[in-house]
């Protein structure tokens, strides 16, 4: 043929076209695989975001792909199931013993653990933990009308539960002889530093183990902690916990050293002469009440009858005496603790604060104030 065009043998031409077709198919398959991988990554990201938004209105303040060491189901397993299902096979030896647990259900104030520093059974070097709690928009404890002022008991649980988990993670049980032990909070301080509307946000607790002392089959540990939200410090404090064998718990004599000490009210000839009896329900929210001065209703109501005296007590500065019958079916017993149902000490402190509020309300302490409400002042101890 004339011109520059050259004939190719038909077999060779078919081979060239076939090779190019194969290359094109391979490239297309690679493209489809990359696209599939991208879609899968997007799916995973969306699932993680949806998981973090499982609570209505919750806005995760951290990356959806942040590191999580222990998630909610694992923490719940530690609360009511096998410890090894949370902490690993090394802890299987405790699965069939009655061991100290963290609160579970509605009293578990940890959503996840994101960091732990420390070595198993090493109590001579620093150890720390970082835990997060996703505050729901309508949590059962957010009924006081001030979302920047969580109930003191809830703050205590958010602060102290990571300390208990760190103690377990380090295997403090190994310091103690075999047998049943009880885990109790003994002492502590809580100082309010700042305030944030925590609804639909994450509170981060960072706690450190300060010391461990073992004596007579009992272990005492001290921790420090700090609570933050959106990078702002809310609370700082310290706390002391103890592991006690059954016989030590049975021989506790109480703060009065085993002596029977009557309340001031019951030492009076006429117990009602210096004050008046009122019902705590009087100060629960109502359509016409001022939310800032109401007590928290529902699960946070721990008192029934309250005796108030404006000038009573040993020092004549005022006195309040309140109580509530113990209900074996109370909502908190199943949550605190598994196999060791006791009223949380934090809720006992909440009851004391509730009595103080009733004293203030009964004696018109807020008279003349434009917008009164109960709150712990920043910079002042919330609890000691």
Residue-wise pLDDT tens digits, 344-356: 999 999 999 999 9
- Strands of the sheet with 127-134, listed across from one edge: 112-117, 127-134, 202-215, 218-229, 232-245, 181-192, 381-383
What does the DSSP assignment read for 283-318?
A: GS--TTS-GGGSPP-GGG---SEEEEESS-STTSS-
Number of neighbours of residue 321 by Cβ within 10 angstroms = 20
Render pLDDT for 228-281 as a digit per residue (tens, 0 to 9).
999 999 999 999 999 999 888 888 888 888 899 999 988 888 756 678 888 998
Q: Would you call the peptide bond into 337 cis, given omega within 30 degrees of 0 as the criterion?
A: yes
pLDDT at 283 over 80: yes
Q: What is the pLDDT of residue 70?
A: 98
How far out from the chain centre does Cα 255 lie?
Answer: 27
pTM score, whole prediction: 0.81
* C-alpha torsion angle, residues 378, 380, 383, 384 (rounded to 10): 150
Answer yes or no: 125 catalytic.
no
pLDDT at 373 over 90: no
Q: What is the pLDDT of residue 90?
A: 94
The pLDDT of 318-327, averaged and rounded, is: 94
Render pLDDT for 106-164 as a digit per residue (tens, 0 to 9).
999 999 999 999 999 999 999 999 999 999 999 999 876 678 889 999 999 999 999 99
pLDDT at 58 over 90: no
Q: What is the pLDDT of residue 53?
A: 44
The pLDDT of 2-26, averaged and rounded, is: 52
pLDDT at 10 over 70: no
Most confident of 198-207, 295-304, 358-367: 198-207
Render pLDDT for 31-43 as a digit per residue (tens, 0 to 9).
556 556 555 554 4
Strand spans (E) along the chain: 112-117, 127-134, 181-192, 202-215, 218-229, 232-245, 276-279, 305-309, 319-323, 381-383
Q: Which of 62, 96, 125, 336 is catalytic?
A: 336
Task: Indicate the average pLDDT of the chain.
Answer: 84
The CA-atom distances, in angstroms, between 220 and each of 1, 27, 114, 183, 213 are 101, 65, 25, 10, 5
């Amino acid at each position: 043929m004339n011109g520059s065009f050259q004939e190719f043998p038909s077999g060779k031409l078919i081979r060239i076209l076939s090779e190019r077709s194969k290359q094109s198919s391979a490239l297309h398959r690679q493209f489809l695989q990359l696209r599939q991988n991208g879609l899968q990554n997007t799916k995973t990201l969306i699932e993680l975001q949806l998981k973090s938004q499982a609570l209505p209105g919750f806005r995760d303040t951290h990356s959806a792909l942040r590191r999580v060491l222990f998630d909610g189901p694992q923490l719940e397993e530690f609360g009511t199931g096998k410890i090894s299902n949370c902490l690993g096979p090394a802890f299987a030896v405790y699965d069939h013993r009655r061991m100290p647990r963290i609160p579970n259900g509605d009293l578990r104030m940890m959503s996840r653990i994101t960091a732990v520093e420390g070595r198993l059974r090493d109590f001579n070097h620093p150890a720390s933990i970082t835990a997060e709690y996703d505050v729901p928009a309508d949590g059962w404890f957010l009924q006081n009308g001030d979302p920047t002022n969580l109930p003191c008991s809830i703050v205590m649980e958010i602060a102290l539960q990571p300390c208990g988990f760190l103690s377990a993670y380090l295997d403090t049980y190994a310091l103690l002889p075999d047998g049943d032990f009880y885990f109790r909070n003994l002492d502590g301080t809580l100082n309010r530093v700042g305030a944030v509307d925590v609804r639909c946000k994450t509170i981060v607790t960072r706690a450190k183990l300060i010391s461990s002392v073992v004596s007579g089959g009992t272990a005492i540990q001290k921790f420090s902690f700090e609570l933050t939200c959106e990078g702002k410090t809310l609370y700082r404090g310290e706390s002391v916990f103890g592991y006690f064998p059954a016989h030590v718990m049975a021989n506790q004599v109480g703060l009065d050293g085993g002596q029977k000490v009557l309340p001031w009210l019951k030492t009076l000839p006429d117990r009602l002469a210096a004050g008046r009896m009122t019902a705590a329900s009087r100060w629960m929210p109502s359509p016409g009440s001022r939310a800032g001065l109401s007590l928290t209703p529902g699960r946070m109501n721990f008192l029934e009858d309250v005796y108030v005296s404006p000038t009573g007590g040993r020092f004549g500065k005022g006195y309040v005496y309140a109580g509530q019958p113990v209900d074996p079916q109370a909502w908190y017993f199943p949550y605190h603790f598994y196999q060791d149902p006791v009223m949380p000490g934090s809720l006992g402190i909440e009851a004391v604060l509730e009595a103080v509020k009733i004293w203030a309300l009964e004696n018109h302490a807020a008279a003349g104030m434009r917008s009164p409400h109960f709150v712990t002042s920043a910079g002042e101890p919330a609890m000691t």
